[in-house]
Structure 1
Amino acid sequence: MKPKTKAFIYNLLGFVGIFLILRFGLMFLFPSISHLILVLIAAFASSILAPKFAVVEQGGKEQLKMKWIFIKGFKDIN
């Protein structure tokens, strides 16, 4: 699998995982608020909290890197 495809899949899985946890958690905590507002809050928070994966070319080969707000700097994936 190409590194760009891996980065896309990892980004998608990270976002969706955090989004679902936040969406159902917020719906459990605040049942009286509109579902659309809860989904928008969960989407915004997930886009900030989810790890970001990117492909960087170093030394003639592509490497997969991860950046997350809970980890200082970049982490190599592979």
Structure 2
Amino acid sequence: MSKKTKAFLYNLAGFMVFFVPTWVICTNVFGMEGFLPKMIALVISIFLSPKFQFIKTAEGDKIFMKWLFVKGIKEVK
């Protein structure tokens, strides 16, 4: 699997980890219906999920991660 594909899958997994529980909480705990709980879960997930970026460097292909809860940009091994 290429590193570009891995970065995409990491982004997807990181987003879904925050989206699904937030959506379930909005619908079941707060009793929201329709489009609103999905939009709330979307906005919260966009801000809280880590961002992964594939970059071609002189040393080779690398994946970097930036996250609200981690200071700076980290390389994913």
> Could you tell me how far apart the structure 2 residues matched to 1:71 and 1:29 are?
30
Matching residue's letter, 2:24? F
Asked if 1:27 corresponds to 2:27, the answer is yes
Structure 2 counterpart SS, 1:27: helix
> Could you tell me how far apart the structure 2 residues matched to 1:35 and 1:72 are?
37
Report the counterpart of residue 66 of structure 1 in structure 2. Answer: 65
Report the counterpart of residue 15 of structure 2 in structure 1. Answer: 15
> Could you tell me how far apart the structure 2 residues matched to 1:18 and 1:50 are?
7
Question: What TM-score results when the alignment is normalised by the length of structure 2?
Answer: 0.90
Structure 2 counterpart SS, 1:19: helix
Q: CA deviation at 1:76?
A: 1.0
Structure ranking higher in strand proportion: 2
Where does structure 1 differ by over 3 angstroms across 4 or more consecutive aligned residues?
A: none
Gap regions ≥5 residues in structure 2: none
Question: What TM-score results when the alignment is normalised by the length of structure 1?
Answer: 0.89
Over the matched positions of the two proteins, sequence identity in percent amounts to 35
Q: Deviations over 1:4-43 (max 9, x none)?
A: 0000000011111210010011222211x32310111101
Report the counterpart of residue 48 of structure 2 in structure 1. Answer: 49
Gap regions ≥5 residues in structure 1: none
> Could you tell me how far apart the structure 2 residues matched to 1:66 and 1:15 are?
13
